[in-house]
Structure 1
C-alpha cells in the first residue's frame, strides 16, 4: 500500500481494518503514516514524504520522490505481493501501479481521481495503472465504465466513522471548551505549502472576527511535524488571539465548533459529515493557480458543493481569499440560524448517501479482484 499525507493515511487505516477482518493473517507494507501503523502496517517510508502539492512544490522534491518510487517498485517486483493498493496520491501511485500491473501484480486504486472536476486526461493513466478502482462517490463508477475502467462504489469510510448525531458537548468537554462558547475551527490543510499560503490568511481572518465579536474561541488542529511552523505563524499573524492549537484532533475540533474556516480538500467533506457550516478557501503559488484554473470543469471546488451541485457554502479562492472576506462570510454564518439549520439538513442527507460500510464493500471488491 502507498498512502500520502494525513488524509490518505486516514483512508488507508480504515481500509486496513476491513481487510484484516476478512484476512486476519494479512501482511501490509509500503508507504504509510501513524494511523496505518496503528493497524499493524509496516511503513518502509513515512507518508509525509509524499505531502507535496502542485507543480512548483513537486519540482522541489522531484528527485527524492522519483528515487523513493523506483526503490519501492523494484522491491515490490521482487517480493510480488498479492495486491498493490494505491490510496489517492495519483501523481505518485499511477507511475508505480503501471509497471506493477504490466508485470502481473494486481493493482487497486482507492479514490477515483477527480476526472469529473478537472484533468480528465488522467483517466487514460488510470486505465493503464489500475485493475480496479474503489470509488467514494456514487456517480463515479459509471463515468469510469465509459473509459473501460472497472470500479465499485464503496462509499466514504469517514461517513461510517463519523456519527450521524454529532457529539458536540463531549468534544467541547474534551477540549476544555464551555457549552456557551462560540467556537471557530481553523483548518489550513496538512501540507507545509498549504500552511505557508493559507495559514496567514486564516489567522488574520480570525483576528478580524475576534475584533468584531469579542469572546469568540478559536481552535487550530496541527498536523504532527508542523508545530514549529504553526507557532511561528501565530506569533506573526495572530498574537494575543484566543487560540488553542491542538495536536491533531481535527475531528474533535470539527465536532466542537460552530463554524470552520477550512482549506479545500478532504477535510471539507469531513466538516460536512460533522454538519458544520464552513467557509472554504484556498491559496497557492501563482503558477499553480494559473494552470489549475484553466483545467476546471465545474463551477465548484469544495467537495460539499460538488456533491450537492450547489454553492451551499462559500468558496473564497486565491485573490478572493482575503482576511476581510473570510471574516465577513464567517460572521454571516454565525448570524443566520435558519441558514445553518437548512445546511445541516442537507449535510445529513449527504451523510446517509455516503454511509455504505466502506471497509466491508472495499474488501469484497478486492476479494473479487484476487478471485479469493
Structure 2
C-alpha cells in the first residue's frame, strides 16, 4: 500500500471540475488522507480540494478567446509552476484543458515530478499534432474511451483506459419519474430540454438559435414545455438572451444547474456540442446537436477536423445517430424540425436508446478505482 499521495491538479470550466471531483472522490476512498491543491471549481472544493485559483479563470474557448486572455493565463501558469516546483507534489494531474496543462506539465515532468493527463485530447478528431506535446508533458494518460490507449501507444505514450466517470455516476435505468417530480413536471408533459452550454461565448452564439427553435416548435405544438438549466454565473446573460429572442412568453422554465435532472426528465434535448452531449447519451435522450463559434474560431477549427462528425455520441458510435447542425447550418427552422421529428418517431427513439445503452455499458468501468490503480502503479515506480 502506498501512502496517501500529495496531489496537484488543474481543471478548467464546469466539465473539468466535474470530472476532477469524481476522480477525487475515488482517490479519497483509496487514500483518505489525500491532499489536493491547484486550480479547481466548486465540485472539487466539495471534495476537500484546496483551490489556489478558481477554475473559471481557465474558462475560455477557441483561439480568439485564448489570445485575448493570453497574458493572464500565462501569468497564472507561471506562478503555479514555480509554486509546484518548490512544493514538489507526488503527482500532478492535469484534467483536460490541454492548451494550459501541457505547458505546465512539461517543466514539472522535466524536474522529476510525475505527471498524469486525465482525458486524452481528441487527437483522433482534430489537431493530431498535439500528441507530440502530450508525449513531452505526461508520464501517463488516463483515457475515457477504449480506443485511445492503442492510439497513444503508437506514439510512445503510456496510457490506461479508465472509462468515463459520468458512466459510473449516471444510472443505467434513467430515473425519469423522480426527475420530473423534482422539476415539478407532470408525467404527461412533453418536455424539451435546451442546453446552450456553460461558457459565456456559447450563450452568446448558441442560445439564440435554441430559443428561436423552441419558439418554432411551440408554434407547431403549443403544449410543449421547455426547461433550460443555467450554468453558475450565467443567469443574467441567459435571461437577456430569452428577452432578445422574443421568448419571454414561451412556456420555459429556467433552473440553476441541475442539468442531469433536466436530461433525465426530458423527451428530447436541443444541446450544444461538448461533454453535455455524452451526458445526454448516458441518459438515453434523443438530441439535436448544435454548435456555433465566432467566425475566426470557426475558420481555424474547420481546417483541423479529421472526421465528419462533431458531436461525441456520433464520434463514438461512428455514425450520424443524432442530427448535427454546425455553424451556418444551425438555423432555428432546421433545429426545430429535427427536434419535432424525434417526438414523432417512437421506433427511432427506441433504436437510439438501445445504442446508447450499449455505449453506457462500454464506458462504465469504475473510473475512480481504475484511475487510483494507475496512480498507485505510477507512484510505486517513482
Pick one of 312, 323, 334 that aligns with 1:325: 334
Taking the TM superposition and a 5 Å limit, the aligned residue runs for 1:45-64 are: 45-64=53-72
State how far apart, in whole Å, the 1-side matches of 2:272 and 2:262 are: 15
2:187 is the counterpart of 1:140: no
State how far apart, in whole Å, the 2-side matches of 1:133 and 1:145 are: 11
State how far apart, in whole Å, the 1-side matches of 2:83 and 2:251 are: 49
Alignment: residue pair count: 372
2:270 is the counterpart of 1:253: no
- In structure 2, the partner of 1:282 is 291
Query: TM-score scaled by structure 2?
Result: 0.97
Pick one of 105, 108, 122 that aligns with 1:114: 122
2:133 is the counterpart of 1:128: no
Pick one of 301, 307, 312 that aligns with 2:310: 301
- In structure 1, the partner of 2:4 is none
- In structure 2, the partner of 1:169 is 177
- Deviating 4+ runs (over 6 angstroms): none
Query: TM-score scaled by structure 1?
Result: 0.99
Post-superposition shift, 1:239?
1.7
State how far apart, in whole Å, the 1-side matches of 2:372 and 2:34 are: 12
**What per-residue deviation string (whole Å, max 9, x for no partner) do you get for residues 308-352 of structure 1?**
000000010000001111001000001101000000000000000
- In structure 2, the partner of 1:268 is 277
SS in 2 for 1:371: helix
Post-superposition shift, 1:22?
1.1
State how far apart, in whole Å, the 2-side matches of 1:320 and 1:107 are: 41
**What per-residue deviation string (whole Å, max 9, x for no partner) do you get for residues 212-237 of structure 1?**
11011111111111111011111111
Taking the TM superposition and a 5 Å limit, the aligned residue runs for 1:7-156 are: 7-156=15-164
State how far apart, in whole Å, the 2-side matches of 1:325 and 1:57 are: 29
State how far apart, in whole Å, the 2-side matches of 1:121 and 1:248 are: 36
What runs of 5+ residues in structure 2 fail to find an aligned partner? 1-8
Q: CA RMSD in A?
A: 0.7
What runs of 5+ residues in structure 1 fail to find an aligned partner? none
Pick one of 301, 311, 333 that aligns with 1:292: 301
